[in-house]
Structure 1
Amino acid sequence: MSKPAATVRELIREHHAALTQSERKFAQALLENYPAAGLASITIVAANADVSTPTVARMVQKLGFKGYPQFHQALLKELEAKGSGPTQRREKWASEAPESHLLNRFAQTVTRNIEQTFANIDTESFDGAASQLADTKHQLYVVGGRITRALADYAFTHFQAVRPRVTSMTASSATWPHYLLDMEKGDTLLLFDVRRYETNLERLAELAAERGVQVILITDQWASPISRVARFSFNCWVEAPSAWDSNIATMMLLEALIAATQEECWPETRDRYERLDALFDLTRLFR
């Protein structure tokens, strides 16, 4: 299976060291409103980023594009991919799939997803998120969407064992104002949102951020709009030869965050584990 073309986001990260200060200014403006900030004409996107048109043209070429039209087309394709549903994804993979067995194609794809995900994680952001998740003086709220609520449930089960003050928010957005009512400055909201991004999750994140809650977003390679208000945002590669996206890379990142949070909280977490096991013995939950 041929390797998919790198996204513009990946190219910016790859070539960031070679960019000038003004080019980095445009790159930052693009990433803050990605990919919408690059979908207008070159003169408009330059003006919006407060840089010159030649600055944009030079940066585009440094990223490997022949010119701005090719760069613009790449962003349009990414935008189209963002909104694709299961049927479109299935058709895309069916048309591109080689004749090898599905198991081999799937293994190759998810392995590449994991590699791309972890290669693009900023270690300082990862450590910062783990430290935020380990802040037991404040409440940790966990929520996911239609598909990602399974990831949120998994995260809640583990973080509840690792540390106190963890709240699993229900899947019904009608109940979220009750949680917002209790959120305080310094609390953490761990949120999962992947393509065909959910407007109710975006509004929840905005309201939480306005209250001083630290939002940690786990999303896909195209990035949920929630990244605009998130303190920490992690992009996971999710495409697979299926009508459905893969959560394997996302799960690996989540488990890495759980492990890092556990280490941040140790030895308090060790004591919590021991007391939890004692309660399991009393309830005879396990054989």
Structure 2
Amino acid sequence: MAEAAQTISDHIHKMLDDLTRAERQLALSVLENYPASGLGPLTALAKDADVSVPTVARMVQKLGYKGYPEFQAALREELKAKVKTPIAKHDTWAEAAPSGHILNRFTEAVIENIRLTLGQIDPTAFDQACDLIADADRHLFIVGGRITHTLAEYLFLHMQVIRPHVTHVQSTSNTWPHYLLNAKEGDVFVIFDVRRYENNTLKLAELAHERGAKIVLMTDQWRSPVHQVATVCLSNRIVVPSAWDSATTMMLLLETMISSVQTLNWTQTKARIEGLEDMFDQTKLFRKFT
């Protein structure tokens, strides 16, 4: 049986790279609507994932279960454990709203995403990412996608202040190959890529890797194909009751990363902030009340 300290979802994530194509397709289907996807009949799961019944049976055994009934029993135990150990002492987050109100349902999903993400993040890998980003001897390239470009811009804005040699690259732009001309061995690319993974982003990552660059990947729980060439991969849970995925957990990691890099570079960062504030004063960018 799977380790008690891990959820079945956790175990599946660790196995992804070792699965066959059909098994990986099944695993991603299970994770897409976890845990509800595994609570129905075996044949229904196989049909939803567009794989054979024997593929489901093999996958269940690889997870450490004797058969599908035992696998389902473990899923049900996970659900019971969630009921026994609520995230908060209060029944609702927005006390004026019913427990089923979107304010509460969405908040519960986000907090669960944070809990699961932090439970899986390797602190050593996170520190390695921060060290690479903080190293001012390495040119830093920041790449966002169609939706994640907002996160990339947020990181870029802060890194501009914290350290020199920072470039913001739009992966959707047809000019991004021009940026690669300046990339050299040891430079760092921070790449944001969540489902639906973008072909431009993958190609950019592959070419940067070929040039000897280090890649820090910010992705979702299913992991972008970019992870195959990434030096550090930081996965985030993103599913919420919405037609769109949530960026809250990724923003939490991002702001923690900014804080860490700022601390690592504080002497240089302090001098840059002082110079920037002086320019703000001269240009009267901000209103003063004293």
- Using the size of structure 1 for normalisation, the TM-score is 0.71
SS in 2 for 1:182: coil
SS in 2 for 1:174: coil
- Distance in 1 (CA, whole Å) between partners of 2:215 and 2:253 is 16
Which amino acid letter does the alignment assign opposite residue 111 of structure 1?
A: I
SS in 2 for 1:38: helix
Structure scoring higher RCO (CA < 8 A, sep ≥ 6) equals: 1
How far does residue 31 in structure 1 lie from its aligned partner after superposition?
Answer: 3.9
- Distance in 1 (CA, whole Å) between partners of 2:177 and 2:69 is 44
- Determine what percentage of the aligned residue pairs are the same residue: 48
Whether the 8 Å CA contact 1:141–1:167 is kept in 2: the answer is yes
CA spacing shift, 1:192–1:201, aligned 2, 3 Å: same
Aligned length: 226
State the partner residue of 1:23: none
State the partner residue of 1:123: 123
CA RMSD of aligned residues (A): 2.9
Give per-residue Cα distances to partners, 1:231-268, cap 9 Å, x unaligned: 00011100011100010001001111111111111211
State the partner residue of 2:139: 139
Whether the 8 Å CA contact 1:32–1:228 is kept in 2: the answer is no
Gaps of 5+ in 2: 1-5, 27-56, 72-97
- Distance in 1 (CA, whole Å) between partners of 2:18 and 2:281 is 51
Which amino acid letter does the alignment assign opposite residue 150 of structure 1?
A: T
Whether the 8 Å CA contact 2:145–2:170 is kept in 1: the answer is no
Instruction: Say yes or no: does 1:32 pair with 2:52.
Output: no
Rg comparison, structure with higher value: 2
Whether the 8 Å CA contact 2:171–2:201 is kept in 1: the answer is no
SS in 1 for 2:264: helix
State the partner residue of 1:183: 183
State the partner residue of 2:246: 246
CA spacing shift, 1:112–1:153, aligned 2, 3 Å: same
Q: How does 1:60-209 map to 2 (within 5 A)?
A: 63-67=63-67, 100-209=100-209
Which amino acid letter does the alignment assign opposite residue 197 of structure 1?
A: Y
In terms of fraction of residues, the more helix-rich structure is 1
Give per-residue Cα distances to partners, 1:10-55, cap 9 Å, x unaligned: 1267xxxxxxxxxxxxx6xx443678483499xxxxxxxxxxxxxx
Which amino acid letter does the alignment assign opposite residue 243 of structure 2?
A: A
- Distance in 2 (CA, whole Å) between partners of 1:247 and 1:35 is 30
State the partner residue of 1:51: none
Give per-residue Cα distances to partners, 1:123-143, cap 9 Å, x unaligned: 100010000000101110001
- Distance in 1 (CA, whole Å) between partners of 2:68 and 2:210 is 36
Give per-residue Cα distances to partners, 1:28-84, cap 9 Å, x unaligned: xx443678483499xxxxxxxxxxxxxxx999658453348998xxxxxxxxxxxxx
- Distance in 1 (CA, whole Å) between partners of 2:223 and 2:59 is 21
CA spacing shift, 1:135–1:118, aligned 2, 3 Å: same
Gaps of 5+ in 1: 14-26, 42-56, 72-97
CA spacing shift, 1:138–1:70, aligned 2, 3 Å: farther
Which amino acid letter does the alignment assign opposite residue 136 of structure 2?
A: T
SS in 2 for 1:153: helix
State the partner residue of 1:213: 213
Which amino acid letter does the alignment assign opposite residue 263 of structure 1?
A: T
Give per-residue Cα distances to partners, 1:110-163, cap 9 Å, x unaligned: 011111111111010001000000010111000111110111111100111111
Which amino acid letter does the alignment assign opposite residue 164 of structure 1?
A: P
CA spacing shift, 1:154–1:62, aligned 2, 3 Å: same
CA spacing shift, 1:275–1:40, aligned 2, 3 Å: closer
State the partner residue of 1:227: 227
- Distance in 1 (CA, whole Å) between partners of 2:20 and 2:103 is 33
Whether the 8 Å CA contact 1:219–1:236 is kept in 2: the answer is yes
Which amino acid letter does the alignment assign opposite residue 165 of structure 1?
A: H
- Using the size of structure 2 for normalisation, the TM-score is 0.71
Whether the 8 Å CA contact 2:172–2:200 is kept in 1: the answer is no
